[in-house]
Amino acid sequence: MKEISQLVLPEDVKYATDHEWARADGDEVVIGLADYAQDQLGDIVFVELPAEGDSFDKGEEFGTVESVKAVSELYMPMGGEVVAINETLEDDPALVNTDPYGKGWLIRIKPSNMDELGELMEKSAYLAQLEG
């Protein structure tokens, strides 16, 4: 496992306490699993994601990731309707490990309230949570 100083934590994403990240992209938001979470889980072997058109409130479970160590739930960092899922993960779930903020993204949503993005943590606050 990585030391906290070795984690990749981009400045252009917001972080949830459950270790998901969210990045605004126009009027949509891309959601993924933070480097810390994928590192703790180990090798990701399966990702279960919702269907396009499904809607979730902030904090609701929207899927699972299965690793060689455990199955973990994924929670919505903000509410919205799923407009796209990363279908590439069906054939290559390890992208969540190798590129969690790029090709390993999970879902895109049309947020029900874009203000919820501002309620998520900046990199510095998330780092403080991890160190805490």
Structure tokens at 130: 């991890």
CA dihedral 37, 39, 41, 45 (to 10 degrees): 110
Tell me which architecture the domain covering 28-114 has in CATH: Beta Barrel (2.40)
pLDDT at 47: 98
The span from the CA of 129 to the CA of 132, in Å, is 5
The span from the CA of 78 to the CA of 61, in Å, is 11
The full DSSP string for 65-108 is EEESS-EEEEE-SS-EEEEEE-THHHH-TTHHHH-TTTTT--EE
pLDDT at 100: 98
Could you give the count of Cα atoms lying within 13 Å of 128 in the half-sphere of its Cβ?
Answer: 5
pLDDT at 106: 98
Could you give the count of Cα atoms lying within 13 Å of 131 in the half-sphere of its Cβ?
Answer: 10
The span from the CA of 14 to the CA of 88, in Å, is 23
User: How much is the pTM?
Assistant: 0.96
pLDDT at 2: 92
Q: What is the pLDDT along the chain (132 residues), one digit of tens a residue?
A: 899 999 999 999 999 999 999 999 999 999 999 999 999 999 999 999 999 999 999 999 999 999 999 999 999 999 999 999 999 999 999 999 999 999 999 999 999 999 999 999 999 999 999 998
pLDDT at 72: 97
